[in-house]
Amino acid sequence: MAQPRWLDSGEMAAWNAFLEASHRVGRRVERQLRDQQGLSHPQYEILVRLAEAPDREIRMTELAELLVTSKSGITYQVGKLESAGLVRRRSCSGDERGVFAVLTDEGMDKLRSAAPGHVEIVRSSLIDLLTPDQLDALGDALGTVARRLDPRD
């Protein structure tokens, strides 16, 4: 059996900084959305993706892929949004197993209400803490990781 490639001190520092920063930012974003809008971060992201989609609808399987979550996870979150009247589901004609998530007018209103506070917490928790060069490097580095780990490639 091959020996593990242990992290050196610089690699360990980068890993730990990534973990701490991602947890802190994630918790702040989650808290703001819950406290001000009664939404979880995944629910907010579903509303965003649906608002950006043609006719404000996306197949549930595609939505799960876009949000890097399981089908059961997306079903649960869409169910919560559906109960709140923010999303509805509709069958896919020609594919009896296919289901679309559709953003309702109420869901669009909720997204419009939530977006200003969300962008403010994203700015104060990440964007405004970094220089433009640091943002470019972060975007480049994390984009590389995302592309290399994307199973569709």
Among residues of the chain, what percentage have pLDDT more than 90? 91
pLDDT greater than 80 at residue 146 = yes
Residue 107, CB-side half-sphere exposure with 13 Å CA sphere: 27
What is the mean predicted confidence (pLDDT) over 117-139?
Answer: 98
Q: Which residue has the higher pLDDT, 152 or 12?
A: 12
Distance (Å, whole) CA 84 – CA 66:
22
> Is the separation of the CB atoms in 47 and 107 below 8 Å?
yes
Query: Quick one: which H or E segment has residue 90?
Result: strand 87-92
pLDDT greater than 90 at residue 96 = no
How confident is residue 97, by pLDDT bands cut at 50, 70 and 90? confident
Query: Bridge partners of 101?
Result: 58, 89
Residue ranges per structural domain of the chain: 30-132
**Which residue in the block uniquely carries the two structure tokens 């520092």?**
13
End-to-end CA distance of the chain: 29
What is the mean predicted confidence (pLDDT) over 75-91?
Answer: 97
pLDDT greater than 90 at residue 92 = no
Identify the architecture of domain 30-132 in CATH: Orthogonal Bundle (1.10)
**Which residue in the block uniquely carries the two structure tokens 């209400």?**
113
Mean of pLDDT over the chain: 95
Nearest to 30 by CA among 122, 113, 108: 122
What tens digit of pLDDT does each residue of 48-58 get? 999 999 999 99
Nearest to 18 by CA among 28, 10, 6: 10
What is the mean predicted confidence (pLDDT) over 40-52?
Answer: 98
Q: What is the largest CA-CA distance in the chain?
A: 58
